[in-house]
Structure 1
């Protein structure tokens, strides 16, 4: 029993010793672990501080976005350092040097500032440090490229202008050379003429110096002979003038005797020749039928004056009525009555006349002067043109001068001759002299035509008589002016 207790006590003792040993070992291990954990904690805090110095937690979290895809054989810092080294090499164009990123950045910043300071003042707004507010290296390069391109274009334009100026200068020089040659030729010719004149002058002077009494007598003899011939010619002229005067007197007497024996025919007899007759009258419809038509070259619009069949045509050409053709047939025509006299109505066999129109010939006219075509008391600027247009429309021919072939002359009022302008009037109106000369020319032409018509016995008609003889007075003069 005692042995069993002794063994039990030993077991308990061993157990206690073992437990105490294990406790001591655990305590030692705990102390060691605590010491190690403090070291690890210090190392972790140091590493954490170093990591925060390298990058903030947000930057660490977004490291892939900030740095990019991680390279397999490089750390993030090494990757960033490589990027910085590449940027340094790209900007400086030099091989890498063993230096910190700060030194490299400072060197790049210094070069950037040098570039900014070398830029023109009006190039770009400068910044003290490279930032988003500065122009930037690439922006500077782009601007320089654009400016270089503009300068190249400007240089190209300037070169083209220089080439053109060179060509113009060459042309001018060539022209100047030709002009110089021409002037030299003229100077040479003038010099030769001057020498010739000088030679002639010397000869004349020598001749004057060599005058003798014989030369003076010869000149006196020539003078007396010239005076004698002049007197003889004057006497012959007087004799011829006397004979001419006598001949003109005899001719005038002969013409007077001939006119007594046989009167001179009327100049305007052709104006009284009838062109046709009225064959029927429709008073209700205000129309007449005439005996001429298409075969006689009658056409719509042609007008005629109507004269009494039993009376001669009046000298003023004023008829009893005026008609206008509006429909034509082979040998007859229909005409409306534009003007008539109630006291003397149109009757069958009445005569119709148009001074311009002729079925067998072309009458020739000359028109001169100023005309009041519509009888309103004022000269029409285009009055003469209207008369010429009527003549040409109705088969006549307008000529500029009176000849033996002219049939009729239509004369208006004599053109008003302007007063010769004074110096003050010429200064205020530079065209005053030309206007005066034009009016003088028109007046002289009018007088010349009138004189030629008289000398060649060409019948002359005034405007009113002319309109009466063509049956156009009612169309030319408005109704208010006629009544």
Structure 2
């Protein structure tokens, strides 16, 4: 009995111990399971974190394994190793260890020549360019030194030439001043002689003119007395009277014809123009026919039936206004005209000097004087250099203006131009003085054009 009781107690204890152990095992299992779940969660989170740095596929790349091995040798993590190397790379390349790769790319994109080249390639290219520039700089420096030496030599040569030129210019200026003084003395002497003898010549001319007039009047009286005496002698001898003066043939006295008649404007067109040397303001007597221009027994010509005055001259005809007419005997086409002093065969001589403005631009010049001279020659006139006994007209433009006298250091060309202008002004004054002394007709450009009937359109 006691044995069964002890065995029962042992079984109960055993069962109790087994139950306690089972409970403890269950609790332990649950604890381990909870820890396992927590560890799995941490592992999953750690794997997700690792994926942000490197994916499972990238772990198998040779480059990643190389980086991992190098990091292991330096006892660093891969990330730490990469961070350290990146900082050192940025410090080396950009000088800023905190610079990111995006900023580095942006800065590299702004550098010319980085397209398609690595940094080492760009550096090598720049080194080659620097070497080439150094060579060019060395060559340029050599050329500059050569040019500087040549420039210094040329400057010395120019200085020598300027020195020689200044010496020659001073010699010429002294010579010109000497010539100017001599010329002034000669001009003063000539002017004195001209003034002295000009007055004497004017007095002699006046005396000659007065004497000629008196002699002409006396000669006319003697001729008339001679004619009267001859007439008396012939009458006494029974031979009748003679004509004192025989007139020219009628056809020789006709100077032109009336081509058209404009009774409304009181104008006529004449058959003579610039080619026949018709002159503005010239008047002509109008006759019905050439036979009407017949001298009477006293040698007098009859008055015309009308008088016309030229108001415009063209190349081959002229326009004239009627200034006098006869009632009941109008001017008709075909009438003849005559002027006792008109001579189309006469050639006029002109002396032209001064500055002219023929184109109306307000600028007087010597070149436009040539235009005026060509106009005179085209009209049929002759140009002469000096006033003489057969000169008909003197045409003077504006007097040249003399600039201030050049200084001692002035160029030779300026001195020569000054002397030339002095001579031109002296000639201008001499021509005007001679024209006034000799009572020569003095014209300007407008009066000349009026005289020859040339008016630009």
TM-score normalised by L of structure 1 = 0.41
TM-score normalised by L of structure 2 = 0.43
